[in-house]
C-alpha cells in the first residue's frame, strides 16, 4: 500500500466515525451520511489545508454538506407544495426536521455561523456549550446568534414561517 493511501486510511479511521455520526444525526439517512463522509474527505484533501485542526475543518465541511443536502430536500418539498403549507409541514419536532428548517432559513449564511446555528438550534446546546465546543468566546457566540437571528427572521418573513419555533431550540436538553 502506498504511503499516500496509508495516510488517507489513517485520517479516515481517525475522523470518519465522528463525521458519520454528525451527518447521520442531521440527515437521518445512512446512505446520505456515508456520501457526505466520503465527499468531506475529498474536499478537505483537494483543498490542501496545511493549517488548523483537521477535525475542525472536516467537521465544518461535513456539517455544510449535510445542510446542503437538506436544502435539496427542502427545495424539492418546496416545489411540490404551496409555499404557505411549508412551515407546519416542515416542523414536526424531530432533529432532522429541525435541521431541515434551519437549512431553509439559513441559506446564505457563512460557514462559521452555520456551524454555531446547528449546535444551538438543532442540537440544543446552550451558548456556553457552543462556545466551549468550538473554542469561541461566549460573547462571540452571542453575536453570531444575533446575526443568525436577524437572517432567520428575514427569510422566515419571506417564507411565512414562524421562526420562534426554531429560535426556541427544538432539542434543548
Partner 1 sequence: MSDRRYTDLQIERHLCSDFSPEEQSDFEQSATEADRAQLETLRRQSEAFLEAASAHKQAVAISQRLTPKRMGLRFLAPLALVASVAAGLFLFLDSPAKLAEPDVATKGGELRLKVYVATDSGSRMLMNGDTLPAFSRVRFELLHDQPGFAAIVGIDSEQVVSVYYSSGDRAVPYEPAVSELPVAIELDETLGSETFYGLFSAIPFDAKRVGAELLAKRPLGPNIQQAELTVGKTR
Residues comprising the chain, all counted? 173
42/157 with CB nearer partner 1 = 42
Closest CA to 144 of 98, 99, 109: 109
17 binds partner 1 (CB under 8 A): yes
Q: How many whole angstroms separate alpha carbon 84 and alpha carbon 96?
A: 21
Taking CB under 8 A as the criterion, the residue among 61, 65, 105, 136 binding partner 1 is: 65
Contact (CB, 8 A) for 153 and 109: no
Smallest gap from Cβ 141 to partner 1, in A, equals: 13
164 binds partner 1 (CB under 8 A): no
108 binds partner 1 (CB under 8 A): no
146 binds partner 1 (CB under 8 A): no
107/153 with CB nearer partner 1 = 107
39 binds partner 1 (CB under 8 A): yes
78 binds partner 1 (CB under 8 A): no
Closest CA to 86 of 25, 171, 163, 32: 163
Residues that bind partner 1 (CB under 8 A): 1, 3-18, 20-22, 30-31, 34-39, 41-42, 45-46, 48-50, 53-56, 59, 65, 68-69, 71-73, 75-76, 80, 119, 123, 125, 129, 132-134, 173
Amino acid at each position: 500500500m502506498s504511503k499516500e493511501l496509508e495516510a488517507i486510511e489513517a485520517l479516515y479511521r481517525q475522523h470518519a466515525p465522528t463525521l458519520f455520526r454528525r451527518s447521520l444525526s442531521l440527515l437521518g439517512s445512512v446512505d446520505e451520511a456515508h456520501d457526505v463522509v466520503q465527499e468531506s474527505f475529498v474536499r478537505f484533501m483537494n483543498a490542501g489545508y496545511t493549517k488548523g485542526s483537521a477535525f475542525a475543518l472536516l467537521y465544518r465541511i461535513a456539517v455544510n454538506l449535510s445542510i446542503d443536502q437538506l436544502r435539496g430536500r427542502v427545495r424539492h418539498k418546496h416545489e411540490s407544495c404551496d409555499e404557505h403549507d411549508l412551515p407546519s409541514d416542515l416542523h414536526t419536532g424531530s432533529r432532522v426536521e429541525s435541521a431541515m428548517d434551519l437549512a431553509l432559513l439559513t441559506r446564505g449564511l457563512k460557514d462559521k455561523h452555520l456551524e454555531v446555528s446547528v449546535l444551538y438550534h438543532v442540537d440544543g446546546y446552550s451558548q456556553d456549550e457552543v462556545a466551549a465546543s468550538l473554542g469561541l468566546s461566549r460573547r462571540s457566540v452571542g453575536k453570531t446568534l444575533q446575526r443568525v437571528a436577524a437572517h432567520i427572521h428575514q427569510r422566515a418573513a419571506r417564507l411565512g414561517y414562524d421562526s420562534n419555533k426554531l429560535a426556541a431550540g427544538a432539542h434543548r436538553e
